[in-house]
Structure 1
């Protein structure tokens, strides 16, 4: 949810935000919003009665991911950890976008593209490499680069040794945009994430993310620094 937006929940279990954005409410939250009922209450018409050995809440609702019928159900502790991570993954992009759009007229993905180019030799990358390192499809990246080209931040050229290869290059104005946008972005990252944790927790967060990245991105396409801190 973008910073400053408000929300309410409709009867279908979706969150409606003041900016028009909507999102499904996680099952773990829906259970707390529903009216409670006794364990021996009859199921509603068309609703299957939940066996007693699968009941984990006072209102007869069991999260599908915690069902005993699953091969590897999540424990309550695991479910809390997953639900919290899922919520962070959902909310963080909007918080990053909100600040950058307000202060730099960039989306977070715009900034990521510019920053990736700024970090590379000669401030240039093949479009295929840039797409891989930003976890974007080529059509999506091409659309974003076209928009950045129109603003004078990026230019595209053909590789001299292989005419089939397109190179994206950061312009001087693009580099200046990265430099001017970075301080506000860093302050936002610090306010949202870093300053909410102790130094020890920051190290733990880094190690946790490192382990997950080894599973999600074994080839390190996103070019994130790996190894122990």
Structure 2
């Protein structure tokens, strides 16, 4: 599976300002959780999958409050000085109101109060926790917005951020959306970026046949 060591500085296009504020703060604090570990190792310590941790960091999903407390505890284990531990504890505590604000914000995908949190056991990532009717239908007809400006957005990024952004998209989108974005990238002459997106999607468990069908339907 692709490394999650590089964290994108951008959030998912559907993320509200409140969700972005939470995700950006989490990106800063995640480095204090088992410092030196890869993102995959951090995810394992938190008892979640690497793609789910990536969703939290990119504003596609919201964790439970208990996860914030677990992160704070893991961060405290890596700090020798009691004063530093207290500072970290306060910083992680400050995440909770940001999380609450994110949950109350109007989600552009849910068309109402955001329900994209991960309550209880992780579900199959092909079955979104979003309550919109579109998510209950064929995965190839996703409710996720299509960003036709993706090529320009990627071109403005540094290479590492570009790859990290594509890895995040590949791990989060459905097969149908992967096909749409791959077609946009191909038409923009960004074949290398298209391959990164598709490889990321396949590594995250997406069906390569469905991606090919979705992509073929746009040609």
Query: What's the TM-score once normalised by structure 2's chain length?
Result: 0.27
Greater helix share, structure number = 2
Higher relative contact order (CA 8 A, sep 6+): 2
Please identify the structure whose Cα radius of gyration is greater. Answer: 1
Greater strand share, structure number = 1
